[in-house]
Amino acid sequence: MEVLRSHSLARLHTFGIDVSAERVIPVTSVDEMKSLIRDDDISSEPVMVIGQGSNLLFCEHYRGTIILNRIMGIDVRETDVAYHLHIGAGENWHQLVCWTVEQGYPGLENLALIPGCVGSAPIQNIGAYGVELQDVCAYVDVLERASGTLTRLTAEACRFGYRDSVFKHELKETHIIVAVGLRLSKDWLPNISYGPLANLNAQTVTPAQILAQVCKVRREKLPDPAELGNAGSFFKNPVVNQDTYERLMGDYPNLPHFPAPDGQYKLAAGWLIDQCQLKGYKVGGAAVHQQQALVIVNTGSATAADVLKLARHIVDTVQTRFGVSLEHEVRFMDATGETTLDRELP
């Protein structure tokens, strides 16, 4: 295995901020991953496994090893009622979506153009336009770091929630995702109830047409990380209780909202930020994107400190105006592991 020492991470995470790690090691197979996590030199220091770094902000130099998950491969098994896919964690998510539609395996088209690798999808329970990974996930294969044991977790065991899963909690430091199993039903029904898709005809629309529309909308709204460094949606859409919802709707009747479990309501974080007139607001080389307030971009010279200060300003401004707390969807990494905005900027 190739070992890159004192290696820049600028091209290994989509924010493109020039921080570095002690070691970077690409891994292309489950056996390589097993061997690496058993290495005493590796296991004795901080270790982080990443795919494309599409949902990460490295706040400082990482004093440990970054493992690049490059485990590839797609296997398909067909039954009378579904297509069953087994996908290596290192596969590109958007390329997978396009490939399934081309092959006539519908069900992922709403999730097009979400950046990152397949192995990252269960961690976030990625979602867009009315569909979440949990809707199609059959299982997730994981390696236990301590023993190197390979285990298959059912979708239920993954405890999926809104941009959440067991991989953000109990299994965050103990297990590594190496493959994901998807079940795509042959009894396909289009999911076009969400905003920009509502103008499509449910009787005639095809998965390819939904894919094209999703790509068109996302490209119009979201900056390409290859051209303008970013990690996609920086904040989660906040979920509020009935009292807060009624208070806000009384003051802001046009506030976008969606029903959430347990009688709660999900609000549009981008709308809240936009109402605070923060589009284009800059701190150093970091800025709120001009077209999509939910995205923080690296204009070319941003430091991690710039992004952190801008994020804190957004959180505080929204809290002051609406009384709503924003939680960052992007994962923050300090020198040894995961951190939060509150810990970095109390």
What is the C-alpha separation between 56 and 11, in angstroms, rounded? Answer: 12
What is the C-alpha separation between 327 and 287, in angstroms, rounded? Answer: 18
CA atoms within 13 A on the CB side of 132: 12
Beta strands per DSSP E along 148-291: 150-154, 175-185, 229-233, 239-240, 257-260, 264-267, 282-283, 286-288
The answer to whether residue 233 is catalytic is: yes
Contact (Cβ atoms closer than 8 angstroms) between residue 89 and residue 118: yes
What is the C-alpha separation between 104 and 342, in angstroms, rounded? Answer: 46
3-state secondary structure of 101: helix
CB atoms within 10 A of CB 318: 21
The answer to whether residue 329 is catalytic is: yes
CA atoms within 13 A on the CB side of 57: 31
Following DSSP, what letter does each residue of 30-78 receive, concatenated?
Answer: HHHHHHHHT-HHHHTS-EEEESS-TTEEE-S-EEEEEEEE----EEEEE
Options 163, 165, 218, 331, the catalytic residue: 163
Contact (Cβ atoms closer than 8 angstroms) between residue 120 and residue 14: no
Options 145, 233, 331, 344, the catalytic residue: 233
Catalytic residues: 163, 233, 329
